[in-house]
C-alpha cells in the first residue's frame, strides 16, 4: 500500500519538527524545539530524557511501581502477587497467553478495579484504590483493548475532551456571561494543540467525522491521540495493535517510538510475541495471574518457562 510511503514523508510535517527524519539522536533538539508549546513538567521530563541515552540503565527512575498486586473474583485469582516497575522513557511490554491477567492488571493499575491486596505507586505516591479519574489526572493515561470511542461525538470533540484542567468544565463558568470569555480563550489555545496532535497522528482529515464512523485502526490512532492530550507521564496501551492492519501497525509503532524518544513512558499489553520482542526494551511475561519472567527480550526468548507457557498453554 502506498500509505506507508506517504506517512513516512509526512512525518516531517507540522508538530514534531523533523523528528523521524533525524532519528533518535534528535531527541534533545526536539525537546527544546517544542518545549514552549507544552507544559513545564513535560519539558522537564523530556529534558531529563535527552540526557539519558536509550538503552539499559539500571538506576533509571521508575514512575510506576506495582507491588504484590492481587485480585480475586470470587474463588478465582485473576492476578496473583504481581510486582514490577516501569522505568521512565522506556517501552515495556506485558505479554502472556489469553487469561493470563494482563488486562486485569491494567484495570487494577488504572483504578477501574480495586485490588484485593497490593499497592500501586505512581510518581512515588500510593494510588491504590483511587478512582480512575484521580489516577488519570496524576498523569497515568490508558487506552482500551477494544477501542472505545465516544461514537456520537466527532473526532475533534473526542480530542477536545481530553486535556486536563479545563476551566469550562465548571457549569457556572461555562454559562455565566462574564466567565465564558475565559472558557473560550482556553478552548482556543487547546485547539491548537489538538490540531497538532491530529496532524501528528495523521488523522486530521477525519477531524469532523463522527468517531463511530472510523475504521478499527483509525480508532486506535484516535484513542492514542486522545490519551496523549491528557499530558500523561506514562501511557498504558491495552493491545494497541489488535485488529490493525500491518501498514497501520507500522505507523503506530513509529509513533510510539517517537513519543518514547521524547520522554513518554509506555507499558503495552500485547498478544503478539514478535512485535513485543522486536520493539520493547523490557518484557514482562504473565501466565495464570503470575509473573513468569521479567527481563530483556533476549532473556525472555531463551527462557524455557516462557516457551512452555506459550506453547503448552495453547496446544
Partner 1 sequence: MSVSDLRGRFEGLFERDVTLVLAVLGVLYLAYILAGVAFGYGLRGQLNAIANLTFYVGVFGMLALALNLHWGYTGLFNIGIVGFMGIGIYTTAVVSKPAAAGGAAQVGGLGLPLFVGITAGVVVAGLFGLLVALPALRLRADYLAIVTVAFSEIIRFTMMSRTFQTFTVPDTIDLWLFSFDPAPDTIGLGGGGGLILNYTNPLEALLRILFLWDPYLGFVSFVEENVISNNPKPVLDGLLYGVFLLIGVGLYYALLSRTGKSPFGRVLKAIREDEDVANALGKDTDRFKLTAFVLGAALMGLGGILWYSARGSVTPPSFRPNITFFIWIALIIGGAGSNTGSFLGGALFAGVLYQGPRYVKNLVQTAFELGSAPRNFGEAMAGFASLDPMPFILYTLDSVSQLRLVIMGVVLIWLMHNRPEGLLGHRKETASSVDLARPRSGGSSGKATAADGGDER
Non-local (6+) Cβ contacts of 70 within 8 A are 77, 79, 80, 81, 82, 115, 116, 117, 118
Touching partner 1, residues 199-238 (CB under 8 A)? 199, 202-208, 210, 213-219, 221, 226-227, 230
Tell me the pairing of strands 125-126 and 290-295: unpaired
Residue with cell 522486536: 278
Q: Quick one: CA torsion of 76, 81, 82, 85, rounded to 10 degrees?
A: 150
Toward partner 1, which CB reaches closer, 50 or 86? Answer: 86
Nearer CB in complex with partner 1: 152/304:
152
Retrieve residue 9's grid coordinates. 514523508
Asked if residue 156 binds partner 1 (CB under 8 A), the reply is yes
Stretch of 26-34, 95-103, 114-122, 243-251 contacting partner 1, by CB under 8 A = 243-251
Among 39, 56, 73, 167, binds partner 1 (CB under 8 A): 167
Under the binding rule (CB under 8 A), the answer on residue 4 touching partner 1 is: yes
Neighbours of 2 (CB within 10 A): 7
The residue range among 8-16, 56-64, 79-87, 266-274 that interacts with partner 1, by the rule CB under 8 A, is 8-16
- Which DSSP category does 312 fall into? I
Question: Minimal distance in Å, beta carbon 293 to partner 1?
Answer: 29
Element (H, E) at 195: helix 177-200
254 interacts with partner 1 by CB under 8 A = no
The yes or no reply on residue 179 touching partner 1 (CB under 8 A) is no
Q: Check binding of 57 to partner 1 (CB under 8 A).
A: no
Amino acid at each position: 500500500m502506498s500509505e506507508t510511503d506517504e506517512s513516512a514523508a509526512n512525518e516531517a510535517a507540522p508538530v514534531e519538527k523533523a523528528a523521524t527524519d533525524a532519528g533518535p539522536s534528535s531527541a534533545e533538539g526536539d525537546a527544546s524545539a517544542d518545549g514552549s508549546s507544552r507544559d513545564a513538567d513535560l519539558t522537564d521530563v523530556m529534558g531529563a530524557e535527552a540526557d539519558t541515552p536509550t538503552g539499559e540503565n539500571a538506576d533509571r527512575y521508575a514512575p510506576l511501581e506495582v507491588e504484590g498486586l492481587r485480585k480475586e473474583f470470587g474463588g478465582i485469582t485473576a492476578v496473583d502477587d504481581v510486582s514490577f516497575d516501569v522505568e521512565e522513557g522506556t517501552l515495556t511490554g506485558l505479554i502472556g497467553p489469553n487469561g493470563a491477567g494482563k488486562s486485569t492488571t491494567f484495570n487494577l493499575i488504572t483504578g477501574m478495579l480495586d485490588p484485593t491486596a497490593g499497592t500501586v505507586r505512581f510518581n512515588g505516591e500510593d494510588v491504590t484504590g483511587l478512582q480512575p479519574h484521580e489516577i488519570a489526572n496524576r498523569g497515568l493515561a490508558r487506552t482500551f483493548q477494544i477501542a472505545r470511542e465516544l461514537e456520537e461525538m466527532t473526532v475533534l470533540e473526542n480530542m477536545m475532551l481530553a486535556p486536563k484542567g479545563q476551566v469550562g468544565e465548571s457549569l457556572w463558568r461555562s454559562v455565566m456571561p462574564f466567565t465564558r470569555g475565559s472558557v473560550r480563550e482556553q478552548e482556543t489555545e487547546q485547539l491548537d494543540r489538538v490540531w497538532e496532535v491530529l496532524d501528528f497522528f495523521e488523522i486530521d482529515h477525519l477531524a469532523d467525522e463522527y468517531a463511530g464512523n472510523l475504521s478499527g485502526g483509525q480508532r486506535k490512532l484516535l484513542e492514542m491521540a486522545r490519551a496523549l492530550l491528557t499530558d500523561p507521564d506514562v501511557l498504558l496501551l491495552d493491545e494497541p495493535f489488535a485488529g490493525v492492519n500491518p501498514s497501520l501497525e507500522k505507523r503506530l509503532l513509529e509513533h510510539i517510538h517517537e513519543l518514547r524518544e521524547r520522554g513518554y513512558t509506555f507499558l503495552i499489553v500485547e498478544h503478539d510475541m514478535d512485535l513485543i520482542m522486536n520493539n520493547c526494551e523490557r518484557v514482562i511475561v504473565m501466565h495464570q495471574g503470575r509473573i513468569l519472567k521479567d527481563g530483556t527480550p533476549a532473556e525472555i526468548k531463551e527462557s524455557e518457562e516462557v516457551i512452555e507457557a506459550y506453547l503448552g498453554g495453547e496446544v
